[in-house]
């Protein structure tokens, strides 16, 4: 890889880490402000919906959020026009705070962190599961029960279908990944065969040299 490519990858990684850290600060601040309220759950879900539904479907709006050519005042005015009659006062004011600090582009990472923090507050843990075919209800309950015992928390399963796994499943809990898919077993077997072949060539090369 060329030097300029290495520098670009390093720069993007630093930016991602920095954004995640800043997003966590704002997510904690928002959560701290709403936890005492009766509508805390709906407010958290409102921020999630803004990121997952609105920005995902209206990419132009996210481009405006990110643009340095649009002033803070213009962005606040836009927020009033777009969300004034739709968003709660709490969420609208939060968006304006982000606009004043030049952080509107962090709505998505903030929503992601906020969801995790709120789940932790409720004693829940998000678990991502990829399977080759849909889980039947009995297996889903068995997985949930086993995770509940192992994690000491209520697992929130998010299941996606990935036929490339062939069979089995891949499970992610935080930074931990368990790959029990058949595709992974095939890959491990393939690597093991290659390793054994290489070892035989290195230890007894004479057997692989023609007379």
Based on its alpha-carbon atoms, the radius of gyration of the chain, rounded to whole angstroms, reads: 24
Question: Which overall architecture, per CATH, does domain 3-119 show?
Answer: Orthogonal Bundle (1.10)
Question: What's the Cα-to-Cα distance from 135 to each of 118, 156, 159, 160, rounded to whole Å?
Answer: 27, 15, 8, 10
Average pLDDT of the chain?
A: 82
Nearest to 143 by CA among 133, 158, 132: 158
82-134 pLDDT tens trace? 998 889 999 999 999 999 999 999 999 999 999 889 988 888 788 888 888 88
Nearest to 75 by CA among 59, 56, 62: 62
Task: Quote the tokens at residue 42.
Answer: 């709906």
pLDDT given for residue 6 in this prediction = 41
Higher pLDDT, 174 or 172: 172
Nearest to 165 by CA among 147, 183, 180, 188: 183
Average pLDDT over residues 163-174: 80
Whole-prediction pTM:
0.61
Sorted by where each begins, the domain ranges of the chain are 3-119, 125-203
71-84 pLDDT tens trace? 999 999 999 999 98
């Amino acid at each position: 890889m060329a030097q300029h490519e290495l520098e670009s990858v390093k720069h993007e990684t630093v930016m991602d880490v920095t954004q995640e850290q800043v997003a966590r600060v704002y997510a904690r601040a928002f959560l701290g402000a709403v936890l005492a309220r009766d509508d805390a759950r709906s407010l958290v879900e409102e921020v999630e919906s803004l990121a997952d539904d609105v920005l995902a479907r209206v990419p132009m709006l996210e481009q405006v959020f990110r643009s340095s050519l649009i002033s803070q005042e213009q962005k606040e005015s836009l927020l009033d026009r777009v969300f004034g009659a739709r968003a709660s006062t709490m969420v609208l004011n939060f968006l304006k705070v982000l606009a004043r600090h030049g952080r509107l582009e962090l709505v998505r990472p903030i929503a992601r962190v906020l969801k995790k923090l709120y789940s932790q507050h409720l004693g829940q843990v998000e678990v991502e599961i990829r399977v080759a075919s849909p889980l039947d209800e009995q297996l889903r309950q068995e997985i949930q029960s086993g995770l509940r015992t192992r994690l000491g928390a209520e697992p929130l399963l998010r299941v996606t279908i990935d036929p490339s796994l062939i069979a089995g499943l891949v499970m992610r809990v935080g930074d931990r990944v368990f790959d029990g898919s058949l595709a992974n077993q095939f890959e491990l077997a393939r690597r093991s065969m290659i390793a054994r072949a290489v070892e035989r060539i290195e230890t007894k090369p004479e057997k692989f040299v023609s007379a």
